Structure 1
Amino acid sequence: MPLVSLRPVLDAAMAHGYAQGAFNVNAVAQAESVIGVHEMFRSPAILQGADLANAFMGGRTDFQNGTLEDKKKGAKNIADAVKKYAEHSPIPVVLHLDHGRDFDSCVAAIEGGYTSVMIDGSSLPFDQNVELTREVVKYAHARGVSVEGELGVLAGVEDHVFAANSTYTNPLSAVEFFRKTGVDALAISYGTMHGASKGKNVKLRREIPIAIRECMNHEGLHGALVSHGSSTVPQYIVDEINALGGAIQNAYGISKEELKAAIPCGISKINVDTDIRLAVTRNLRELFRDRPELKTDARIGGVWELLDKNRAAFDPRAFLPPLMDTVMYGTGDDGTVALITDAMRRGVREAVGTLIVEFGSVGRAPLVELAGLDEMAARYAKE
């Protein structure tokens, strides 16, 4: 079926009391696998391409320095892959821009085929954040595309997003933000952190989403709350990576119990990236351990060289530059290259499948209203 916007998927989650996982992808094989595992559980699916993932998928291996043109190219590549695998899928699929850093990045994603975008103005003063977010909302809603904003600062590192300390979201400011911008969803800061080093035994401040939800209900405002920086960082995978020659230190996530307890407090979308990165990295290291002759293979030996050189890294983008055509377009996915993409697919299924079950979206696909972008644009125009 055609891709849908984020709004109806989160409306269903709010109405029925579960959370929708949102999973980041950086390669065609990952997009295929995320959709496939959601189909297996008959769950709606939210695939996310981060702003710099678009640069990477545009062929920029030094994606931190990606240009707008790189992002435009990459957005189309991701969207083409997601549309290909969603076309005959029985579940609703959303393609969402994660951490759009400016208006132009959001426009590039929408023009490339994204059906939902996040504009991250959380580092700006409140009024400037409102102004930027409102500008994106106006552009996106006219095209039926939903918008997520952010208020409050999460500590940690993820792509270009960095902050040394967290600033918790003020519930009253969140309500004002919804009212002034018209966003469909808002990422809040309530104790989560970006990256793999969140600290041991993190306790989320669930009173923050509770307060926001109660105030919004009182004011008659509509909108979903989003939990960023919510990877669980499975310790067994970290241990396996290190046993396979990796050197990952101080990697701790948010416990599944803490995340599940936040759902009835008002959290409807939970973002996960690091768990997928870890599972894929473990599988790649395992492949070369079990098949040492592949370390000198003409097609994939370069992947091993980067794995061996970057022992502390767990972002697959650090290891995949030798296979960029396969990453970007899915071409050349045969022979020994297929061993790499199989490892990636299995890692995605392992990380994502568990959380679909934990977050409660199993069997929820029929609950989502299948409104196309044109229909959503007409609805937004009436609001």
Structure 2
Amino acid sequence: MKLVNGYDLMKYAQTRNLVLPAFNTTNMEMTFAIAKGLNDAQLPGYIQISSNNLRLSDPETIVFLARKAAVKYDIPIGLHLDHGKSYADVKACVNAGFTSIMIDASHLLFEENIAAVKKAVQYCHFYDIPVEAELGAIGGKEDDMASESDCKTDPDMVLDFVERTGCDTLAVAVGNVHGLEAKPKIDISLLEKISKISPVPLVMHGGSGIPFDIIREAVKHNLIKINYGADLRRAFVTTFGQAYEKNNMETDIIDLSLSGVKNVAAVAENLVKTINDIPI
């Protein structure tokens, strides 16, 4: 199947009462593994990459790899820009063929955040591409970038922000954190309050490390998408690390890479099933 437009992917999930996982990739092996994991689970989701991780490749390369990964399967898969850090990155990814976009201006002042998101929305909507924005700041570490911020999303700002930006989904900060080094403390009551105010579906970043009972409670409050990065990266890196510990003369990159794909795919399959409360 070709990569699916973000609007169509969300509609597909909503009509089936599913929450979409968004799995972070960095390279070919991770990209192929994510697609395989979703297909093995027979559940839809996103391959996504952050602006920061595009340092290793470029939008055109990731689109090429994602298309090759998705075309073998029949399950709907979208390609999402995660934490787009600039308007230039947004344009480059849309032009390359990404099917969903996030512009992250949450580090800016409220009015500046609105202006940055609105500009991205105007460009993306011309090409029928949905836009995710972020209100509030998520702590932890994302793609080697540490953040000390712990500013939760203010419910009183949500409606104004969404209406003025025109964003299609909203990433919220409710005690979720990036990476595995910090401990998440999810405020379900805050998430519930935001969900009743927001006119668009919500997104939770930092899924890795959040207990699954909390995830299952969170998805009841208009979540459409949950991001996972660290769990998959750990599975890939561990494949090589364990091989090196066993034999520090190991040089078989091909077999280790294939094993890494298998291991990451298994993690992705388990995660998408678990967040949708489907037996593994």
The answer to whether TM tops 0.5 is: yes
Following superposition, the deviation at residue 12 of structure 1 comes to 3.7
2:3 matched to which residue of 1?
3
| CA distance in 2 between partners of 1:214 and 1:37 (Å) | 33
Following superposition, the deviation at residue 33 of structure 1 comes to 1.4
Give the gaps of 5 or more residues in structure 2: none
| CA distance in 2 between partners of 1:15 and 1:177 (Å) | 26
Summarize deviations over 1:200-219 as a string: whole Å, max 9, x none.
xx431112232222224xxx
1:225 matched to which residue of 2?
202
1:151 and 2:135 correspond: yes
1:28 and 2:10 correspond: no
**Contact persistence 1:175–1:215 (CA under 8 A):** yes
1:119 and 2:110 correspond: no
The alignment partner of 1:293 has SS state of coil
1:133 and 2:133 correspond: no
The alignment partner of 2:81 has SS state of strand
**Contact persistence 1:23–1:273 (CA under 8 A):** yes
Map 1:131-280 to 2 at 5 A. 131-159=115-143, 161-199=145-183, 202-216=184-198, 221=199, 223-231=200-208, 253-280=209-236
Summarize deviations over 1:286-341 as a string: whole Å, max 9, x none.
222344432xx4xxxxxxxxxxxxxxxxxxxxxxxxxxxxxxxxxxxxxx221231
**Equivalenced residues, count:** 279
When residues 191 and 176 of structure 1 are mapped into structure 2, their CA distance, relative to the original with a 3 A threshold, is same
Following superposition, the deviation at residue 161 of structure 1 comes to 4.5
Q: Which amino acid aligns with 1:83?
A: R
2:46 matched to which residue of 1?
46
Identity of aligned residues (%): 25
When residues 55 and 22 of structure 1 are mapped into structure 2, their CA distance, relative to the original with a 3 A threshold, is same
2:273 to 357, 360, 365: 357
The alignment partner of 2:185 has SS state of coil
* Greater shift in the superposed pair: 256-265 or 184-193: 256-265
| CA distance in 2 between partners of 1:149 and 1:14 (Å) | 19
Provide the aligned C-alpha RMSD in A.
Answer: 1.9
Higher relative contact order (CA 8 A, sep 6+): 1
TM-score, length-normalised on structure 1?
0.69
Summarize deviations over 1:237-257 as a string: whole Å, max 9, x none.
xxxxxxxxxxxxxxxx22122
The structure whose residues are more often helix, as a share, is 1
**Contact persistence 2:83–2:103 (CA under 8 A):** yes
Map 1:57-136 to 2 at 5 A. 57=57, 74-136=58-120
Q: Which amino acid aligns with 1:230?
A: G
When residues 209 and 108 of structure 1 are mapped into structure 2, their CA distance, relative to the original with a 3 A threshold, is same
Summarize deviations over 1:137-188 as a string: whole Å, max 9, x none.
1101111211110000011121365421311111231121111111111100
Query: Which of the two has higher C-alpha Rg?
Result: 1
TM-score, length-normalised on structure 2?
0.93
